[in-house]
Amino acid sequence: MPVVTSSLSNDQQNKLLSLLGHVRLHLLYKASIHGYTAAAFHSRCDIQGPTVIAAYNGAGFVFGAYTSKDYTQSKEEVSDKEAFLYSISAEGNKPLKISGITGKCAFTDADSGPDYGALVFLHEDKPAVKSNPGTSFNFKDTEMHGDNLELTDFEVYRVEDLGDLLAKPWRNIQWTDEKKQQLTKAVLNYQPAIKTVHQARVLLVGPVGAGKSSFFNSINSAFRGNMTSQAIAGTAESSVTTQFRTYTIKAGKGGGAVPLILCDTMGLEENPDAGLDIEDLVSIYKGHIKDRYQFSSSGPLLADAPGYKKSVTLSDKIHCVVYVVDTCKASILSQKMRDKFAAIRKKTNQLGIPQILLMTKVDEACPLVGEDLKNVYRSTYIQKMAHKLSDSLGIPLNCVLPVKNYSQELELEQDTDTLLLAAVEQMLNYADNFFENQVVEDQGGDDKLDLYRSNDHLPPALTEQRVV
């Protein structure tokens, strides 16, 4: 399936947003990709809340309809005082907005294409519109669509209210250099609770394009002191990462290793036969997959295969799992993807591995956060998405952490580093929970005391970098 992108130009999108207010647009359906049929429309747009249609024709018009109501195929007439038709032309400076006729329904919720009376989209399952002004809405054909009813494309977007800033942040964080240095010191001075383990091993898991590799690069940059791009990152239809990679982070150029290993995997995909295989994931959890193992589309790694590591220690196992989700796509996470997360969560819980969820791209998801990252815990929208992800993926809210990865910056930023380092500190705290469970469950009696480590057991690089 090709990558689905919006056909709205920046100017067209800004004009459309001027009619809708402080909202985000999420592309649900694109007829040139999914098909010009009512069935294709309903399969992606039913029960999605407020939506707006964008129909394109050869005369340069973008026109459509907004409704605050759900499409449900109820076969009933739906009243919606907030509904309107609109048109954006190449020549017009301002978009045209047409409110409904008083006492008339907004649309007929049938199993056909969207039927607003005056405009019926995907008419007869074709790239066409039936125009009948005066029915529910009144307009001039030339102003609405230039008398051109043949469509070059047809899109439907979910409209999400971004809300305003909360009076008080829903989490407290200090945005100071002192706090950043405190977090840096805490990470560098971290010592796993078991003396045989020198570094906490954290695995990043998430959909294609969620920002797993970018998160590692951002953390590496924060500790290195300059922008880095060690892990391959980018946007693509399928996973950019095709290998299992374990990354050690250095404290400064040529510095000692940070007591944290971040592990990257293939991205998750909806298709059960694509993306990261759950059985491979379990092998990673247990420490059986070697660094740079090339994932195979033919099936999971078998115990007798060359890339399989038979003899493992606690150091090889995963100590904390971090799910990575693009906040911009949180509200449109498909049921198939939610089901895949549920299956992974079940396996992870069975192995007793602590789990955290990272919300990436918060600056892109909410313009108020994009303007000032300090608004991240005051943003109504980010708080709403955190609750939504917590509920849909079964992750406790206190384990859901918003972050911003470095993507277009050339210089490090204090606020970005603070948010990233706070997330790392939490990962290390959760890794300690894993170690403590190992002590209790695997090392009963007085023998468990011998497992606690001291600086005497640290590698030289780690011992030298302790921050006082």
Sequence letter at residue 241? T
Give per-residue pLDDT as tens, 319-372. Answer: 999 999 999 988 888 888 999 999 999 999 999 999 999 999 999 999 899 999
Identify the structural domains of the chain with CATH numbers, from first to last: 10-161 (no CATH), 177-464 (3.40.50.300)
Mean residue pLDDT of the chain comes to 88
* CA–CA gap between residue 23 and residue 13 (Å, rounded): 11
Q: Which of 335, 217, 205 shows the shortest CA–CA distance to 282?
A: 205
Q: Which of 259, 190, 193 shows the shortest CA–CA distance to 443?
A: 193
**Reported confidence tier of residue 466, pLDDT bands at 50, 70, 90:** low
Q: Say how many Å lie between the first and final Cα of the chain, rounded.
A: 54
Give per-residue pLDDT as tens, 242-266. Answer: 788 899 998 988 788 999 999 998 8
Q: Which of 465, 422, 417 shows the shortest CA–CA distance to 177?
A: 417
pTM score of the predicted model? 0.77
* CA–CA gap between residue 6 and residue 353 (Å, rounded): 39
Q: What is the model's pLDDT at position 297?
A: 64
Q: What is the model's pLDDT at position 447?
A: 46
Give CA separation, 138 vs 33, 77, 98, 434, 462, in Å: 31, 18, 7, 65, 73
Give per-residue pLDDT as tens, 161-172. Answer: 888 899 999 999
Q: What is the model's pLDDT at position 120?
A: 97
Residues 127-143 have a mean pLDDT of 95
Q: What is the model's pLDDT at position 302?
A: 74
Q: What is the model's pLDDT at position 268?
A: 86
Q: What is the model's pLDDT at position 231?
A: 64
**Reported confidence tier of residue 444, pLDDT bands at 50, 70, 90:** very low
Q: What is the model's pLDDT at position 445?
A: 44
Q: What is the model's pLDDT at position 15?
A: 95
Give per-residue pLDDT as tens, 38-49. Answer: 999 999 999 999
Q: Are 144 and 92 in contact (CB under 8 A)?
A: no
Q: What is the model's pLDDT at position 279?
A: 87
* Beta-carbon contacts of residue 215 (< 8 Å; ≥ 6 apart): 204, 262, 324, 358, 360, 403, 405, 420
